[in-house]
Structure formats: structure tokens, C-alpha cells
Amino acid sequence: MILINLLPYREARRKQRKQAFFSGLALAALVGLLAIALAWVLLQTLIGNQQSRNSYLQGEIDRLDAQIKDIATLREEIDSLTRRQNAVEALQGERNLPVHVLNELARIAPEGVYFTSVKQDNKEVQLQGLAQTQERISELLRNTSRDAQWLLNPRLGEIKLAQLAANARESKRLFDFSMKVTIKSTTPEPDGKASAPAKG
């Protein structure tokens, strides 16, 4: 017996293919959306991790900046304290300087030389005095150059004849002289030690 299908099977197949196509399209769209969602979640996770790293690095940078500022402040304080210490050491070294200079002048002045004026201006001392002879003045200059511990570089200014009246009848013939000497430095050297004159 022969069966004849009189139903429109071609339309049914076409309808099935159409449904399968739309189902595949929907499935592909769903898979695409799911892939996009997964990629977005992964990207957000990576961005969050990177932001966390950036925040950590920024915190470390801020901490290091604070430490650098503290170090700079400490260096300024150390420099300030070093300058103060050097100033105090210089003052301590120069506190007894006038006594040393006067003792030095008394020690190196030969017999027959008298100082009438001693003036100090910074490291320079201006001396004026009287001497019995010019040889005594020369001896004073030699003593200052060779034997002085606190004085150096003696420079004779002038010598002139002076009459000194001992009493109404007699007058002594003396030589009025002026000279300059330099005081040896007692300021601290860079290694922190003062360059005090050597003891003789």
C-alpha cells in the first residue's frame, strides 16, 4: 500500500530550520554576552588589583618622602649644631687670647724696650713703644719672628727719635717705634681640632 503525505512537509522543514537558526543565534548571543561579562569581570578584577598595587606604592612613596624630609631636617639641625659648636670652640680658644698675647709680649721684649700702647683689631695687634737703642727694636723683631708662640709676621712701622725728660735738668734720648704683628689663628680646623700654637 502506498502512503502519500499530502501535508506541506517543505514548509515544516523550513520552519524547523528557521527555529534552529534562531535558537543557534540566541545561543551564540548568550555565549557572546557571557564571554563579554566574564571579560568585564576579569578586567575589573585586574583594575582593582592594579589600583591596590598603586595605592600601596603611593603609600610607600609618601612614607619615603616623609623620611627624606626628616633626614633633610636632621641634616639641617646637624649643620646648625656643628656651626654652633665651631663658634663656641672659636670663642673658647680666643677667650684667653689677650692674656697669651700680653704674656708673649712681656717674654719676647728685650731689656730696654717698653710698650706704651697695645691695640688689637681682629687678628692684628698694633704696638707702640719706646726703646733705648735701635738694636733693641731689631732684637724685638727677631724675637717675635723666631721665639713667639702666639705672634707672627712682625712689621715695623716707623722709628723716630724722642726726647724724654727724666727731670728738669736731664733728658733721655729714646727711640719711639710702632709695629704690627699678627695673632696666630686658634679657629677650629675642618677635622674639629683647633690649631693652637705649639708650646715651647
Q: How many residues does the chain have?
A: 200
**What gap in Å lies between CA 57 and CA 151, rounded to an integer?**
64
Question: In the chain, at which residue ranges do the beta strands (DSSP E only) sit?
Answer: 113-121, 124-131, 151-165, 171-183
**What gap in Å lies between CA 121 and CA 68, rounded to an integer?**
45
User: Residue 192: what pLDDT?
Assistant: 47
User: Residue 171: what pLDDT?
Assistant: 66
Give pLDDT < 50 ranges for the chain: 188-194, 199-200
Q: In this structure, which CATH number among 3.30.1360.100, 3.40.109.10, 3.40.50.80, 3.30.565.10 belongs to the domain 96-183?
A: 3.30.1360.100
**What gap in Å lies between CA 124 and CA 184, rounded to an integer?**
10
User: Residue 168: what pLDDT?
Assistant: 54
User: Residue 185: what pLDDT?
Assistant: 72
pTM value surpassing 0.75: no
User: Residue 147: what pLDDT?
Assistant: 86
User: Residue 113: what pLDDT?
Assistant: 92
User: Residue 117: what pLDDT?
Assistant: 92
Cα diameter, the chain: 188
Query: Quick one: how many helices (H) and strands (E) in the chain?
Result: 3, 4
The domains of the chain are located at 15-95, 96-183
Which of 114, 118, 154 is CA-nearest to residue 132?
A: 114
Q: Which amino acid appears at position 62 of this protein? A: D
User: Residue 33: what pLDDT?
Assistant: 95
User: Residue 40: what pLDDT?
Assistant: 95
**What gap in Å lies between CA 200 and CA 182, rounded to an integer?**
18
Pick left, alpha or beta for residue 103 (phi over 0 → left; psi -120 to 50 → alpha; otherwise beta).
Answer: alpha
